[in-house]
Structure 1
Amino acid sequence: MSNPFATPQDAEDAYYDAIEEKDLQALMAVWDESEDVLCLLPMMAAQRGKEAISKVWDPLMQGDIGLDIQTKHLAWIETPELAIHLVEELVKGPGQTEAQPVYATNIFRKSGLGWKLLMHQNSPTPPPPGLHIPGMEM
């Protein structure tokens, strides 16, 4: 069993550290034990349950592609047992000179085992103001 995370931020830091270090075991230790956990990565189907989440992350952790992800918090909603963090992930892959922004929502729940991740979801950021994308009129 992993050490409990004292705060949602501790769990979130451990999540991103595990990705950077390519440590699947550490990444999975952040997730809640519930089979309701959910991970939705860009351009992939939603994965429910720790086994499915582990299977989708395993090739990303085993490959030669390293990711540098810096996070910027945009909004937090926290109660004594639940925390929702909206972050902007600035993701830089191999050969990229500039980081690409991605929005992520991380939802954490507190239990007797400390704070654990229930859901991680990514989505592209909106286009810059003034950029016209056909079919995206509001």
Structure 2
Amino acid sequence: MPRHKAQTAALMASPDDVEAQFYEALREADIDKLMALWTEEDDIVCIHPGGPRMVGHVAIRAAFEAVFANGAIQVHAENVRRVQSLSSSVHSVMERVDLLTAEGPKVGWVMATNVYFKTTQGWRLAVHHASPGTPHAPPEVVEAPSVLH
């Protein structure tokens, strides 16, 4: 087996490996690396903060190409919550986005959900859904709040 094939197989050994590569691809603005992480299914889905639902490889690639035209995204997955079965894994992620503004460096936060499927090629991304951002890390509620809305 060629060396690069073995590295790819090892990197796709778990949903966490795919997730690490996903955020690395965003920070590197590497469209080929990013697209290699998705399942081969036709109905893969990506929703950028406040954007439309993009379905399929062509739509998702075009959306990320447009994003990368403005440069890499300095985003880091933090406080990941996982629900996993034998063939799927759902990650709720707090994405920390490092921004350079006219006033200097700032941080924004996006809540995202990543869904992974175990395939014959290893784990792959099937859904990435990111919410609109906030300037502060949203609180995490682990008990029922007294007021829901």
TM-score, normalised with respect to structure 1 = 0.85
Asked if 2 retains the 8 angstrom alpha-carbon contact of 1:30 and 1:117, the reply is yes
SS of equivalent residue, structure 1 residue 17: helix
Please name the residue that 2:113 is paired with: 105
Cα offsets for 1:52-93 (capped at 9, x unmatched): 100111021122x33211211341001110000001001122
Matches within 5 A, 1:6-21: 6-21=13-28
**Which of 70, 91, 107 does residue 85 from structure 1 map onto?**
91
Residue 122 in structure 1 maps to residue 119 in structure 2? no
Please name the residue that 1:49 is paired with: 56
SS of equivalent residue, structure 2 residue 123: strand
Q: CA deviation at 1:33?
A: 0.6
Gapped runs of 5+ residues in structure 1? 130-136
Asked if 1 retains the 8 angstrom alpha-carbon contact of 2:47 and 2:54, the reply is yes
Asked if 2 retains the 8 angstrom alpha-carbon contact of 1:71 and 1:88, the reply is yes
Please name the residue that 1:68 is paired with: 74
Q: How many percent identity over aligned positions?
A: 28
Asked if 2 retains the 8 angstrom alpha-carbon contact of 1:73 and 1:85, the reply is no
Asked if 1 retains the 8 angstrom alpha-carbon contact of 2:100 and 2:106, the reply is no
Residue 25 in structure 1 maps to residue 32 in structure 2? yes
Gapped runs of 5+ residues in structure 2? 140-147
Q: Distance in 2 between matches of 1:19 and 1:104?
A: 14
Distance 1:120 1:43, change over 3 A: same
Matched residues, number: 130
Q: CA deviation at 1:125?
A: 6.2
TM-score, normalised with respect to structure 2 = 0.79
Q: Distance in 1 between matches of 2:119 and 2:32?
A: 20
- CA root-mean-square deviation: 2.2
Q: Distance in 2 between matches of 1:79 and 1:26?
A: 26
SS of equivalent residue, structure 1 residue 92: strand
Q: CA deviation at 1:27?
A: 0.4
